Amino acid sequence: MNYSSHACNINTPFVTLNCNSILIKACIFDLDGVIVDTAHYHFLAWRKLAKEIGINLTEADNERLKGVSRMRSLEIILELGGVSLSEHDKENMANKKNTWFVDYVERMAPEEIFPGVRTLIKNLREMGIKVALASSSKNARTVVQLLHINQEFDAIVDGTMVTNSKPDPEIFLLAAKKLCVDPKDCVVFEDAEAGVEAALAAGMKCVGVGSPSQLRRANKVITKTGEFQIAELEQL
Ligand code: G6P
Ligand code: MG
């Protein structure tokens, strides 16, 4: 796929921040664990499924599931437990987990968006910085609709639109392409190790959200998305 932005004809007068000689023109946000705590709902659903097949899924193991596709997550759990299943059974298991996850999500209220995130996105856009959502989740559109933030993004890329999940850079390169912004001018916000790897592989800067020991390759790590100061984009 050609990810270059030369075919773009959007003429936005960008207000740009100088970032070590690069100009930040776009911020790309992961969803689960960055905008809302759906990462916890994924964990609860996976842990319930793992228990059913006799595997004890710990929070530490769960770090490996963050950012990767539904089927890859199941395969990691099966590897952890030394269990092998037919493709047909794997499909059934993945569907079962998704039904439980969707059950949690459908009970979610717009107030569950992390504090400060709505304001951060609004302020970025007011400065002329483009904002995209890039989530490996096939449920991402449902989640942003439930949070009433689907109109707040210049582009949304989800797990239904890519072939390779994070740590492959495909999802971020596609987001940059949709925004008509060069990957080097993008900053990604990510809570998953696989997501940090994907951002760096895309040639983007990355702000990790979570623990510095887990996200050590990110350019900067913050505890919560809402605490990020836009001026910090200049210091990445
Ligand atoms: C995100 C989450 C993963 C999840 C994946 C697929 O990347 O971080 O934990 O497995 O999306 O989500 P889905 O809703 O399609 O099962
Ligand atoms: Mg995430």
Position in ligand 1 atom list of the atom nearest CA 65: 9
Dihedral, 192, 61, 70, 100 alpha carbons, nearest 10: -110
Mean pLDDT, rounded, of the chain: 92
Q: Which residues are catalytic?
A: 30, 32
pTM above 0.85, yes or no: yes
Residue 210 Cβ < 6 Å to ligand 1 = no
Torsion sign across C-alpha atoms 105, 106, 110, 111: negative
The residue whose CB lies within 8 Å of the most ligand 1 atoms, and thus the one to mutate among 68, 75, 97, 106, is 68
Tell me if residue 112 falls in helix, strand or coil: helix
Tell me what pLDDT residue 8 has: 61
pLDDT band, very low/low/confident/very high, at 23 (cuts 50, 70, 90): confident
- For residue range 84-131, what is the model confidence (pLDDT) as tens digits? 999 999 999 999 999 999 999 999 999 999 999 999 999 999 999 999
Residue 235 has pLDDT above 90, yes or no: no
Tell me what pLDDT residue 234 has: 87
Residue 18 has pLDDT above 60, yes or no: no
Residue 3 has pLDDT above 50, yes or no: no
Greatest alpha-carbon pair distance for the chain in Å reads 56
Instruction: Give the residue among 113, 119, 199 at the shortest CA–CA distance from 148.
Output: 113
φ and ψ at residue 172, rounded to 5 degrees: -75, -35
**Cα–Cα distance between 189 and 182 in angstroms, integer?**
17
* Ligand 2 centroid distance, CA of 66 (Å): 6
Q: State percent of the chain over pLDDT 70.
A: 91
Residue 188 Cβ < 6 Å to ligand 1 = no
Return the DSSP state at 203: T
